Amino acid sequence: MKRLKRVAAIHDISGFGKCSLTVALPILSAAGIETTVLPTAVLSTHTGGFSGFTYRDLTEDMAAITAHWKSLGISFDAIYTGFLGSFEQLDLVNCFFDEFKADNNTILVDPVMADNGALYKIFSPEFAVGMRKLCERADIIVPNLTEAALLIGEKYNPGPYTEIYITDILKKLSDLGPKKVVLTGVFFDEDQLGAATYDAIQNEIAYTFEKRIPGYYHGTGDVFGSALLSAILNDFSLNESAAIAVRFTASSIQKTAAAGTDVRFGVNFEQTLPELLKDLRLI
Ligand code: PXL
């Protein structure tokens, strides 16, 4: 029996409204990956559409948690960062990379900060600059098109896109540092939606699409990122991993839409996990 691969997942815990650690932990665990969690904040709900949410910033705990893990001599096969709760946390995550980055592990940064052409209300434009610095150190980044525009300092384009446009964005994102880029929210026509991947070492661009389901479902970026990392750590190539993650996310949204669930509540990834495990050839 081989040892389990281990991920450090650095995201918030939003108690209600499935996203961040409440999806990363179950998805990665189901995919046979040991998941160590470094919570960045504890909220009663995510910030996308609920008013009056509570917010406990855990910035003060992060350095001590990092130091304790270092003292234990543990290592990680991947470091997966998502929603960061404060500007200072960008520096703390940089320090985490200093401590735990190795030649044989992968840093995956999901630069969670914006969607639909706008920065999330709780973030300042300086946060986007700091997030760019974090992306420079990543092996893989997973921005949506709004985040991509902020990272490369271009105006947001709402689409539909062309291959020429997407190729340009992918290459500019990779020029920041990461050798692998997965761009989400890509579509060439209104009926489909998916992701584009760029592997700068192989000089390979690939696309993967599923039928678009109307509506804006919260937490889908985290469902996608967690499934992507699950596939990468199960030794699938970048474009195979993106295809698996697009399928998993679309199928989770489809079940949620069929049930008529409030789009703020998160998607039904739970009953889609068997499909993911089949795609990963784990069952
Ligand atoms: O899914 C991204 C995300 C994660 N965590 C929190 C959020 C959001 C998006 O709005 O508010 C707290």
Structural tokens at position 95: 């320090």
Q: And the tokens for 13? A: 């815990």
Residues with CB under 6 A from ligand 1: 12, 14, 19-20, 43, 46-48, 83, 112, 120, 219, 221-222
Q: How far apart are CA 241 and CA 233, in angstroms?
A: 9
Residues of the chain under the 70 pLDDT cut:
none
Among protein residues, the one with the nearest Cα to ligand 1's atom 10 is 48
DSSP state letters, 198-243: EETTTTEEEEEEEE--SS--TTHHHHHHHHHHHHHHTT--HHHHHH
Atom of ligand 1 nearest to the CA of 222: 1
Mutate to test the pocket of ligand 1, among 46, 58, 89, 127 (most ligand atoms within 8 A of CB): 46
Residue 85 is predicted with a pLDDT of: 85
Distance (Å, rounded) from C-alpha 52 to C-alpha 114?
A: 20
Calculate how far, in angstroms, residue 83's C-alpha sits from the geometric centre of ligand 1: 6
d(C-alpha 189, C-alpha 181), whole Å: 22
Looking from the CA of residue 12, the nearest atom of ligand 1 is 5
1 alpha carbon – ligand 1 mean position (Å)? 37
